[in-house]
Amino acid sequence: MAARSLWAVRRRVQHLLASSAASDARGCPHPFSTATQSTAGEDCGSEDPTDELGPSLAERALKLKAVRLEKEVQDLTVRYQRAVADGENIRRRTQRCVEDAKIFGIQSFCKDLVEVADILEKTTECISEEAELGDQKLTLEKIFRGLSLLEAKLKSVFAKHGLEKMTPIGDKYDPHEHELLCHVPAGVGVQPGTVALVRQDGYKLHGRTIRLARVEVAVESQRRL
């Protein structure tokens, strides 16, 4: 709008200059005389209000738009800060839950093992009392009963928590489940490449091997000529 007004003023000035030159040539009154200036002033004055009104409205619209955009920026900034804070809180809670799971994940298993420890403690107390009386037979019987009860309780605890004992006698050798100690000649009814003897049982937890079974594997015996 301002450029358009400036262009109009320039055209007016050029027109006045051209009229002045023509008047000088014809001996006409100078266009910049009092009357001419008055007329020109009136003409320019008639265009000024419109030209001044245009930039004023444009500036006001730009200011309103700038204020609106600034409010939107502030609102988005606040939302972003809240989202970052919420994300950080979630991360901290998740990390705390993971740490608690690592520490207390075996809480149920330990609680069941405490019962096994109680059985072992009571058996030990009974053995000590009987040993003082000198009845060795009765002492041995109580030891056997206590150990049998202890074994049964352990098996129950293991089964409850998905802990399974592997007894791979006769199974085909598997390096993912068995630790080979040595090879032995295959006896009668024993297939070569199978487990002939288990030195130490292996264990699985929910189907995953946590301890390899230590085994001896049968191989075909070589015949001497």
Q: Helix or strand or coil: residue 102? A: helix
pLDDT tens for each residue of the chain, 225 residues long? 544 554 555 565 565 556 555 555 455 444 444 444 444 444 444 445 445 555 688 888 898 989 999 999 999 999 999 999 999 999 999 998 888 887 777 777 877 888 887 888 777 777 666 655 556 777 778 788 888 888 888 888 888 888 898 889 999 999 999 999 999 998 888 889 999 999 998 999 888 998 999 999 999 876 544
Task: Give the CATH number of domain 162-224; options: 2.40.70.10, 2.60.260.20, 3.20.20.70, 2.30.22.10.
Answer: 2.30.22.10
Residue ranges per structural domain of the chain: 58-161, 162-224
- Which positions ≥6 away from 113 have C-beta within 8 Å? 157
Indicate whether this model's pTM tops 0.75: no
Q: Where are the alpha helices (DSSP H) in 105-195?
A: 107-133, 136-160
- The reported pLDDT for the residue numbered 195 is 94
